[in-house]
């Protein structure tokens, strides 16, 4: 396996061996290693691999001759490998598929150094098509697919790598900061976003809330693509300005609960019919860039699996302060974030009218706080800041020059390093606690992420409120990951279940799990009575949200044996795929509040389509043992259990080594695999090579790189026009091979995306970064005079 990995692209930390302490002290943070790219987005692909994505930027770690913006972190070894991602995945959305693969959706145009527009400009999209330095392609319509692999797999195989080719597979519309939510059949709805972006999704004054001159995308579409053009979702027009990354949750009825700006709606997306719900009390904004912590509370037998959504923190800045695409109109870093929490049950089973209910305040205000649902069904909140908002900028309306910006490009201040726990079952007034938690010294502000790990610890990574890599500013580009050990790590023993399933169904036969007496302590009967089986889906983390995160307690009974063995009889999830959509999750057994390790499971039949259901499981009655039966596990505490481990981060085996010494301290070796012998034969999906670029200088015409940049002849009327300019790097043998499909009849980007999908020829606004509004784009007469950056305002440094 190592050999296979070594053949792959390997990044090596110059300090080739790093000794660090793998602490497992409850409440502590331990070193999680160096993620090589800044972890703006992450998802746990299986019980081994965390996939990490960054925006295209000047990371020192290289892959295939350009800075990397993808990597994969191994849970067992903390080793990190760079991965090639071709398009700019900057601020995309993401979701699992029923078979355990993941997609990421949209992103930004190609950028180069300093976040400037890529060297090849695409006038039709008003953004970069490709950049000759970072070698990223326009990711605006990308649908990237990853099939998670394990250490035993061949990571060279294209099926273990990102599939990222928008000329083959793309959304109908450009989307940046869109939301993805899984549906009951495993398909994915993709909602809203910016076309090219900005601080918030409006001009000021806001006279064109639906289109914003082509900058706003108030539509939705589906993966797999449906035979309809993206329809307008009026709620996004209503919430214009603060409608990026709308908080979206599938409800048991099939409707979607959606919250943005200060509005809330229940939405039947099939019929495109909206039912308004009450507005957010106190006008607290929870979506980006206010970025409250938002989650669906655990679905349990006690609440009849009826979802309640919780919103905590964010910002109640008045309307004007939010500014516009360019920047906020106040110095946000002085504006305290909200500590307010509200919860709402969108579809009350008693027929009452849904209403927001005031919940306990957080212990401090937070913007960019993030909820992680733990296996014990409490909610951890991590990351974020006391003041300000997400986003970054080099100025505000009131601070017109960058050298006056007190926190560099950050629009937030006061990082909150101490986690807190919200217990939804605790009585009101006592739901929050931070007792027992250490405080991290690493600021986790804009573009941070966090994800539950299989052992019930939490990986915390990222933070980069900077337009390009900056390791010397007050809130730098952060590569250091941490592992947070929740309080149940004080347990001397963890439940060690056997008989955990790898598949779950919607209803049907129950299954048995066996708990040996050695893996818990105290009375067996009490332990059995105090057991939960929980199914946790961590989702796709970005921007303080975990899209798709969901938790469910399965019903169970038990048989306690006299030797202390506990046999758990466990019901399948309820026969309603709307409650917990099909796909991957981790199954835990929690005894006396102590979770086992999670087992990777797939719920449903693994395919996109109607999910088979059966009658709800019928469970046998519980049977107790003699009261003397007890567990033989240690009760003791792990305060001394910190262990030390030497980890080799990366390894070099053969290949050509390029040495770069970065920052005088850390360097990365990059092994660039030469696979001349494997260089691709043209597949029938490729298009003719044509070196006569229609674009300006720096276009990296064929031959400029051994990886063989080549360009489609845009004048070739016979070739169906893809989105963007479709300039793709012929970088690897697999580059243009689409992934295998389970259902060959499924439309898989076979229809080329139509630029005028809604019959409206957009007039793209010209922006190259999320905080730089460029004004309407006017194509220059001479492409060679293509600007590489604009100065939209005096003293504005872009
Ligand atoms: C944003 O507001 C500023 C200040 O009023 C203005 O100069 C700028 O043109 C506005 N930009 C947009 C995109 O509305
Ligand atoms: C949020 O919605 C309110 C109410 O519709 C609207 O007045 C306000 O302008 C919106 N805020 C922003 C920043 O767009
Ligand atoms: C990093 O940010 C600081 C200010 O916070 C700035 O002075 C410096 O130029 C930036 N460095 C880079 C490489 O952008
Ligand atoms: C947050 O803002 C308040 C003013 O509203 C200010 O007193 C405080 O110092 C700020 N905190 C930080 C960390 O800048
Ligand atoms: C849980 O997983 C960790 C590795 O992540 C392993 O060291 C530990 O032994 C496992 N515990 C049990 C009870 O299986
Ligand atoms: C199970 O535990 C709960 C408290 O967690 C207690 O109220 C209940 O009586 C117990 N049931 C049995 C059968 O022991
Ligand atoms: C572990 O030790 C701490 C104090 O060091 C104590 O507060 C806690 O209750 C102990 N936990 C267990 C499970 O014994
Ligand atoms: C999972 O499904 C997707 C979409 O149908 C497909 O592209 C992908 O290859 C599948 N993954 C595996 C491992 O088969
Ligand atoms: Cu972002």
Q: Name the percent of the chain in helix, strand, coil, to the closest 5.
A: 5, 35, 60
279: its two tokens: 């507005």
Ligand 4: distance of its center to the CA of 390 in Å? 16
Q: How far apart are alpha carbons 290 and 579 in whole angstroms?
A: 28
Q: How far apart are alpha carbons 243 and 275 in whole angstroms?
A: 17
Minimum-distance ligand to the CA of 468? 3
What one-character-per-residue DSSP string does 683-707 give? PTT---B----SS-SS---TTSSTT
Minimum-distance ligand to the CA of 149? 8
| Ramachandran angles phi, psi of 540, nearest 5° | -120, 115
Q: How far apart are alpha carbons 214 and 229 in whole angstroms?
A: 17
| C-beta of residue 593 within 8 angstroms of C-beta of residue 486 | no
Ligand 1: distance of its center to the CA of 203 in Å? 7
Ligand 7: distance of its center to the CA of 26 in Å? 9
Tell me if 48 CB under 6 Å of ligand 5. Answer: no
Minimum-distance ligand to the CA of 639? 7
State pLDDT tens for residues 90-99: 999 999 999 9
**Of residues 247, 175, 101, 222, the one with CA closest to residue 549:** 247
47: its two tokens: 């019980």
Ligand 6: distance of its center to the CA of 613 in Å? 32
Using CA positions, which residue lies closest to atom 9 of ligand 2? 319
DSSP category for residue 426: S
The pLDDT of residue 733 is 26
pLDDT band for position 783 (cuts 50, 70, 90): very low
In DSSP terms, 460 is beta-bridged to 450, 482
CA 389 to chain centre: 19
The pLDDT of residue 544 is above 70: yes
CA dist 333 → 362, 365, 366, 418, 599 (Å): 19, 13, 12, 19, 42
The pLDDT of residue 705 is above 60: no
Angle at 741 between CA 740 and CA 745, to 5 degrees: 135
- The ligand 1 site (C-beta within 6 Å) comprises 203-204, 324-326, 397, 773
pLDDT band for position 710 (cuts 50, 70, 90): very low
370: its two tokens: 């993030």
pLDDT band for position 637 (cuts 50, 70, 90): low
**Of residues 115, 60, 107, 111, the one with CA closest to residue 82:** 60
Tell me if 336 CB under 6 Å of ligand 4. Answer: yes
Candidate from 392, 393, 406, 408 with most ligand 3 atoms within 8 A of CB, to mutate: 408
The pLDDT of residue 152 is above 80: yes
The pLDDT of residue 4 is above 80: no
CA dist 655 → 6, 166, 673 (Å): 9, 30, 6
Which residue matches tokens 């930004």? 108
List Cβ neighbours of 354 (8 Å cut-off, separation of 6 or more). 266, 277, 278, 344, 345, 346, 347, 348
Candidate from 366, 385, 413, 445 with most ligand 4 atoms within 8 A of CB, to mutate: 413
20: its two tokens: 């660090």
The pLDDT of residue 407 is above 60: yes
The pLDDT of residue 235 is above 70: yes
Rounded to the nearest 10°, the torsion over CA 121, 122, 128, 132 is: -50
The pLDDT of residue 697 is above 60: no
What one-character-per-residue DSSP string does 710-740 give? --B-TT-TTSPP-STT---B--STTTTPPPP
The pLDDT of residue 768 is 33
Q: Which ligand 6 atom sits nearest the alpha carbon of residue 622?
A: 13
Q: Which ligand 7 atom sits nearest the alpha carbon of residue 26?
A: 1
Instruction: Decide the pairing of beta strands 120-122 and 127-130.
Output: antiparallel
Q: Which ligand 7 atom sits nearest the alpha carbon of residue 491?
A: 13
pLDDT band for position 763 (cuts 50, 70, 90): very low
What is the rounded average pLDDT of the residues 657-670? 29
The pLDDT of residue 668 is above 60: no
pLDDT band for position 196 (cuts 50, 70, 90): confident
Q: 707 or 97: which carries more pLDDT confidence?
A: 97
What is the rounded average pLDDT of the residues 351-372? 98
| C-beta of residue 467 within 8 angstroms of C-beta of residue 114 | yes
pTM above 0.85, yes or no: no
Ligand 6: distance of its center to the CA of 514 in Å? 20
Strands in 188-191's sheet, in edge-to-edge order, are 179-182, 188-191, 219-223, 231-232
Using CA positions, which residue lies closest to atom 5 of ligand 7? 639
Q: 775 or 239: which carries more pLDDT confidence?
A: 239
Ligand 9: distance of its center to the CA of 369 in Å? 15
Q: Is the dihedral of CA 598, 379, 459, 636 positive or negative?
A: negative
Ligand 3: distance of its center to the CA of 195 in Å? 28
The pLDDT of residue 712 is above 70: no
Q: How far apart are alpha carbons 738 and 401 in whole angstroms?
A: 47
Q: How far apart are alpha carbons 42 and 372 in whole angstroms?
A: 13
What is the rounded average pLDDT of the residues 576-601? 98
Tell me if 472 CB under 6 Å of ligand 3. Answer: yes
Is the bond preceding 224 in cis, omega lying within 30 degrees of 0? yes
What is the rounded average pLDDT of the residues 40-46? 98
In DSSP terms, 528 is beta-bridged to none
List Cβ neighbours of 595 (8 Å cut-off, separation of 6 or more). 374, 375, 376, 456, 488, 494, 495, 534, 588, 589
What is the rounded average pLDDT of the residues 342-350? 97
Tell me if 742 CB under 6 Å of ligand 8. Answer: yes
Using CA positions, which residue lies closest to atom 7 of ligand 3? 473
Ligand 5: distance of its center to the CA of 597 in Å? 6
What's the maximum distance between 2 C-alpha atoms anywhere in the chain? 89
Which residue matches tokens 């995306």? 753
Q: How far apart are alpha carbons 588 and 494 in whole angstroms?
A: 11
| C-beta of residue 587 within 8 angstroms of C-beta of residue 599 | yes
The pLDDT of residue 732 is above 90: no
The pLDDT of residue 467 is 97
The pLDDT of residue 672 is 31
Ligand 1: distance of its center to the CA of 204 in Å? 6
The pLDDT of residue 24 is 87
Q: How far apart are alpha carbons 544 and 449 in whole angstroms?
A: 6
What is the rounded average pLDDT of the residues 559-580? 98
The pLDDT of residue 581 is above 80: yes
Q: Which stretch, 454-463, 627-636, 737-746, 762-771, has highest mean pLDDT?
A: 454-463
Candidate from 112, 446, 470 with most ligand 3 atoms within 8 A of CB, to mutate: 470
Q: How far apart are alpha carbons 363 and 432 in whole angstroms?
A: 7
List Cβ neighbours of 403 (8 Å cut-off, separation of 6 or more). none
Ligand 6: distance of its center to the CA of 530 in Å? 7
What is the rounded average pLDDT of the residues 496-504? 98
Q: Which ligand 5 atom sits nearest the alpha carbon of residue 453?
A: 5
Q: How far apart are alpha carbons 573 and 535 in whole angstroms?
A: 9
The pLDDT of residue 128 is above 50: yes
303: its two tokens: 């609440």
pLDDT band for position 197 (cuts 50, 70, 90): confident
H or E stretch covering 93: strand 93-96
State pLDDT tens for residues 286-313: 999 999 999 999 999 999 999 999 999 9
| C-beta of residue 52 within 8 angstroms of C-beta of residue 42 | yes
Tell me if 496 CB under 6 Å of ligand 5. Answer: yes
Ligand 6: distance of its center to the CA of 495 in Å? 20
pLDDT band for position 636 (cuts 50, 70, 90): low
pLDDT band for position 751 (cuts 50, 70, 90): very low
Q: Which ligand 6 atom sits nearest the alpha carbon of residue 526?
A: 14
Candidate from 198, 203, 239 with most ligand 2 atoms within 8 A of CB, to mutate: 239
Minimum-distance ligand to the CA of 106? 9
The pLDDT of residue 635 is 74
């Amino acid at each position: 396996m190592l050999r296979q990995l070594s053949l792959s692209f390997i990044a090596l930390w110059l300090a080739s061996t790093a000794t660090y302490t793998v602490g497992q002290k409850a409440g502590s943070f331990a070193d999680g290693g160096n993620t090589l790219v800044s972890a703006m987005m992450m998802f746990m692909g299986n019980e081994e691999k965390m996939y990490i994505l960054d925006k295209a930027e000047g990371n020192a770690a290289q892959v295939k001759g350009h800075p990397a913006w993808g990597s994969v972190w191994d849970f067992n070894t903390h080793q990190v490998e760079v991965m090639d991602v071709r398009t700019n995945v900057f601020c995309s959305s993401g979701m699992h598929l029923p078979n355990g693969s993941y997609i990421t959706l949209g992103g930004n145009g190609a950028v180069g150094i300093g976040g400037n527009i890529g060297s090849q400009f695409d006038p039709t999209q008003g953004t970069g098509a490709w950049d000759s330095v970072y070698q990223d392609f326009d990711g605006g319509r990308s649908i990237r697919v990853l099939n998670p692999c394990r250490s035993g797999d061949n990571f060279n195989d294209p099926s273990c790598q990102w599939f990222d080719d928008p000329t083959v597979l793309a959304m109908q519309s450009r989307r940046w900061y869109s939301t993805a939510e899984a549906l009951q059949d495993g398909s994915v709805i993709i909602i809203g976003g910016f076309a090219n972006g900005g601080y918030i999704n409006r001009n000021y004054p806001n006279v064109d809330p639906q289109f914003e001159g082509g900058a706003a995308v108030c539509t939705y579409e589906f993966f797999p693509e449906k035979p309809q053009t993206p329809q307008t979702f009026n709620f996004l027009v209503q919430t214009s300005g603060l409608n990026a990354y709308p908080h979206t949750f599938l409800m048991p009825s099939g409707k979607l609960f959606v919250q943005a700006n200060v509005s809330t709606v229940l939405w039947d997306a099939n019929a495109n019919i909206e039912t308004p719900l009450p507005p957010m009390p106190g006008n607290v904004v929870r979506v980006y860039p206010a970025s409250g912590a938002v989650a669906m509370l655990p679905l349990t037998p006690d609440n009849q699996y009826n979802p309640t959504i919780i919103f905590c923190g964010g910002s109640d800045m008045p309307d004007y302060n939010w500014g516009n695409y360019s920047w906020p109109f106040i110095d946000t870093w002085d504006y305290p974030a909200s500590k307010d929490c509200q919860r709402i049950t969108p579809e009350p089973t008693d027929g009452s009218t849904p209403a927001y209910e005031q919940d306990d305040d957080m212990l401090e205000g937070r913007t960019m706080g993030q909820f992680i649902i733990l296996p014990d069904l409490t909610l951890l909140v991590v990351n974020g800041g006391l003041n300000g908002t997400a986003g970054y900028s080099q100025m505000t309306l009131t601070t017109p020059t960058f050298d006056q910006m007190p926190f560099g490009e950050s629009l937030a201040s006061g990082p909150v390093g101490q986690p807190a726990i919200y217990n939804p079952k605790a009585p009101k007034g006592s739901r929050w606690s931070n007792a027992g938690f250490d405080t991290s010294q690493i600021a986790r502000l804009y573009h941070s992420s966090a994800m539950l790990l299989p052992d019930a610890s939490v990986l915390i990574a990222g933070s980069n409120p900077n337009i390009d890599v900056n390791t010397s500013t007050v809130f730098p580009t952060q590569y250091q990951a941490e592992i947070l050990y929740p309080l149940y790590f004080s347990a001397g023993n963890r439940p060690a279940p056997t008989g955990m399933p790898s598949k779950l169904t919607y209803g049907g036969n129950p299954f048995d799990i066996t708990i040996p007496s050695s893996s818990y302590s105290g009375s067996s009967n009490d332990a059995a009575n105090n057991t939960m089986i929980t199914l946790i889906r961590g989702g796709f983390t970005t921007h303080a949200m975990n899209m798709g995160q969901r938790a469910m307690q399965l019903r169970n009974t038990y048989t306690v044996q006299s030797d202390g063995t506990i046999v758990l009889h466990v019901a399948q999830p309820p026969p309603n795929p709307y409650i917990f959509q099909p796909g991957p999750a981790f199954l835990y057994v929690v005894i006396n509040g102590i979770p086992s390790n999670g087992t990777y499971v797939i719920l449903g039949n693994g395919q996109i389509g109607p999910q088979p259901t059966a009658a709800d499981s019928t469970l046998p009655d519980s049977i107790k043992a003699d009261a003397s039966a007890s567990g033989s596990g240690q009760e003791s505490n792990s305060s001394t259990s910190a262990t030390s481990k030497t980890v080799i981060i990366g390894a070099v085996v053969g290949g050509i080594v390029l040495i770069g010494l970065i920052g005088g301290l850390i360097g990365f070796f990059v092994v660039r695999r030469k696979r001349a012998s494997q260089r691709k034969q043209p597949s029938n999906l490729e298009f003719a090579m044509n070196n006569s670029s229609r674009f300006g200088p720096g276009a990296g015409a064929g031959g400029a790189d051994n990886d063989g940049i080549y360009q489609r002849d845009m004048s070739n009327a016979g070739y169906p026009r893809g989105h963007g300019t479709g300039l793709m790097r012929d970088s690897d043998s697999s580059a243009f091979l689409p992934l295998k499909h389970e259902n060959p009849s499924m439309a898989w980007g076979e229809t080329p995306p139509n630029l005028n999908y809604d019959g409206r020829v957009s007039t793209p606004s010209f922006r190259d970064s999320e905080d730089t509004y460029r004004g309407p784009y006017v194509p220059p007469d001479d492409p060679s005079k293509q600007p590489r950056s604009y100065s939209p305002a005096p003293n504005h440094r872009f």
